[in-house]
Structure 1
Amino acid sequence: MLQIIKIEWLKVKTYRTFWILLGLAVIIIPASNLLVQDITSRIPKQVQSLLGTSAYDFPLVWQSVANVNSYTSAIFALLLLTLVTNEFTFKTHRQNVIDGWERKDFVFSKLFWVLALSVLAFVVSVLTALFFGFFYGTSAFNMEGFYYLGYYFLQILLSLCLALLTGILVKRAGLAIVLYLGYVMIFEQLLVVTLKRFWGSVGGLLPLQTADELLPFPLIGKMLPGVQQYDNMVYLIALLGYIAVALWLIFRRLLKADL
């Protein structure tokens, strides 16, 4: 595995696009939370008194950061799509096999990026939550609600698995990015709205929506107490199931398809 990681490092070490996208993906996590914090700080005091606490006070800060960051996962997905489709564009995946890699080694090399980017996003999110909680919050440090960042980790893991699956199926960077963004930003959202309108909570069981149901913005939840949904465990099981199915499809495709 260390040899695989070393080879993957050599592929990106001088790849400027990779480092630019990675930098943007990391920066947007605290930047987006700074924007939300600025907006919430402008809420009139009368409304804030009704809500009872700030979104960036401990322990709500864990949930707030996880919710905001869930909307930035697509940038990490674009980065992964670029890496994966480059393998097919420049035929490096074939060269790896010619040089002695087994097919499963190539699969593991791509899953390494899925895990590495997910862990990076999680760590940056934890640091962001700590900074905002201590700097902008008024409550004492509290770990209650930290599990929301665990939900966020699973959300970005699923997002990257879907991006990887899209990349290996389409193989062309431009088309893969369009299809992925089209599904994430338009198609699934339309399905969610339609299903929720006619069948209620069923709409929350679509792949990426399962994580959204687990990551509501805390203050919004107080203003919409009557929203119908399943128990969190249902969404969590569905989310883990989608990750497992995506991984199975990735292995099946790369182990069986003609490289």
Structure 2
Amino acid sequence: MKRLLQIEYIKLWNSRSSRFLIVAYFVLLTSIALIAAIKFDIGPIEFHLADQGIFNFPYIWHFNTFVAAIFKLFLAIVIVSMMSNEYTNKTIKQNLIDGLSKKEFIASKFLTVLVFAGISTVFVFVVSLILGMMYSDYNEISIVFSDLEFLLAFFVKLVGFFSFCLFLGILVKRSAFALGFLIIWAILEQVIFGLLGWKLVSWDTAKILKSLLPLESMANLIKEPFSRLNAVQSVADQIGERIELNYHVHWYEIALVLGWTVLFIYLSYALLRKRDL
């Protein structure tokens, strides 16, 4: 395992673009802290975003993991570029000649995915903990460390998404086309949802079927947190609306994404095994 990770580390660190994207990704994760500095006046009303409770425990785990997941595209570019460079530089062929099996090759890529997701999760945990200690109105231990399932969901979401990107990188071989295919697939999921609800089944059934698709299932792991804010709830009450959403992370949602992850890794290996390099 250590040898496989060392091989991937050397490849990534020798790529200037990969180094830049990885550093940019973690800088952006740190920039979540800048949200606390958002402050402006609207006439006599002073608005300070940090005072709206976004950094309160345990809400901060939900809010920060949702926002941090938006930046995952930076590492997605690294992963598809990583596979593209293997074909362009013929390092994949050289690795196999040097004795690395195709199974070990895929294992090295998946280990890289796990490391990226793991470090990202720890990073978000530390940043959130610091921000919470600074701004949260609730600092009791039982409250601070409640709702940590959002961190688990964040980790699983990244692993699933990066595994999908790994599969696309192997399937398409070119990073630009792989990213283009990713965008097309995201649009296709919405088209499938529209066609199902419009022509084939009820909209409620279409929504359930849509939730089973790869990108939608990953998105559903962490629901939008903004409607949980007291200010949003107050506005909804004033206009006679009631927001009743289930924000919890469910085991079957995690199981579904893990299922897609296993499928993507298996398809990556199957494709590589059959392909003449």
Normalised by the length of structure 2, the TM-score is: 0.80
Paired residues in the alignment total 254
For 1:108-119, what aligned pairs fall within 5 Å after superposition?
108-119=107-118
* C-alpha distance 161-42 of structure 1, shift in aligned 2 (>3 A): farther
Give the Å deviation of 1:242: 1.1
Match of 2:78 in 1: 79
Give the Å deviation of 1:125: 1.0
* C-alpha distance 38-15 of structure 1, shift in aligned 2 (>3 A): same
Match of 1:225 in 2: 243
Question: Residue type matched to 2:211 in 1?
Answer: G
CA contact (8 A) 2:5 2:112 kept: no
SS at match of 1:215: coil
Match of 2:165 in 1: 163
Match of 1:152 in 2: 154
Between stretches 92-101 and 193-202, larger displacement belongs to 193-202
* C-alpha distance 221-136 of structure 1, shift in aligned 2 (>3 A): closer
SS at match of 1:154: helix
Match of 2:180 in 1: 178
Match of 1:216 in 2: 223
The separation in 2 between residues aligned to 1:249 and 1:42, in whole angstroms, is 54
Structure that is richer in helix per residue: 1
The separation in 1 between residues aligned to 2:81 and 2:130, in whole angstroms, is 31
CA contact (8 A) 2:80 2:169 kept: yes
Between stretches 5-14 and 90-99, larger displacement belongs to 5-14
SS at match of 1:168: helix
Match of 2:2 in 1: 2
The separation in 2 between residues aligned to 1:243 and 1:145, in whole angstroms, is 24
Matched, 1:255 2:273: yes
The separation in 2 between residues aligned to 1:177 and 1:42, in whole angstroms, is 41
The separation in 2 between residues aligned to 1:65 and 1:42, in whole angstroms, is 25
* C-alpha distance 171-194 of structure 1, shift in aligned 2 (>3 A): same
Between stretches 81-90 and 175-184, larger displacement belongs to 175-184
The separation in 2 between residues aligned to 1:112 and 1:135, in whole angstroms, is 35
Give the Å deviation of 1:229: 9.9
CA contact (8 A) 1:192 1:204 kept: no
Match of 2:136 in 1: 137
CA contact (8 A) 2:161 2:218 kept: no
Identity, % of aligned positions: 25
* C-alpha distance 242-33 of structure 1, shift in aligned 2 (>3 A): farther
Matched, 1:11 2:11: yes
Give the Å deviation of 1:84: 1.1
Q: Which has the larger radius of gyration?
A: 2
Give the alignment's Cα RMSD to 1 decimal. 3.1
- 5+ long unaligned stretches in structure 1: none
Residue by residue over 1:166-217, the C-alpha shift from the partner in whole angstroms, topping out at 9 and shown as x without a partner, is 0000001221122123334x33345456667822333222212223223123
- 5+ long unaligned stretches in structure 2: 234-241
Between stretches 226-235 and 55-64, larger displacement belongs to 226-235
Matched, 1:30 2:30: yes
Give the Å deviation of 1:24: 0.9
For 1:26-105, what aligned pairs fall within 5 Å after superposition?
26-32=26-32, 34-35=34-35, 37=36, 54-105=53-104
CA contact (8 A) 2:189 2:210 kept: no
Question: Residue type matched to 2:215 in 1?
Answer: L
The separation in 1 between residues aligned to 2:271 and 2:207, in whole angstroms, is 34
* C-alpha distance 19-39 of structure 1, shift in aligned 2 (>3 A): same
CA contact (8 A) 1:204 1:213 kept: yes
* C-alpha distance 151-7 of structure 1, shift in aligned 2 (>3 A): same
The separation in 1 between residues aligned to 2:248 and 2:56, in whole angstroms, is 27
Normalised by the length of structure 1, the TM-score is: 0.85
CA contact (8 A) 2:76 2:162 kept: yes
Question: Residue type matched to 2:262 in 1?
Answer: A
